[in-house]
Amino acid sequence: MEQLWALPEDGWLSVREVLERLTDRDLAYTTVMTVLDRLAKKHLVSRERVGRAWRYRAASGRDELTAEVLQSSLDPLEPGDRKAALLHFLDNASAEDLDVLRAGLAEVERKQSR
pLDDT band at 85 (very low <50, low <70, confident <90, very high): very high
Bridge partners of residue 55, in order along the sequence: 14, 48
pLDDT band at 114 (very low <50, low <70, confident <90, very high): confident
Does the pLDDT value for residue 64 go beyond 90?
Answer: yes
Burial of 38 by CB count in 10 Å (0-12 exposed, 13-18 middle, 19+ buried)? exposed
Yes or no: say if 50 and 14 are a contact pair by the CB < 8 Å rule. yes
The total number of residues shown for the chain amounts to: 114
pTM for the model = 0.76
- CA 52/CA 54 separation, integer angstroms: 7
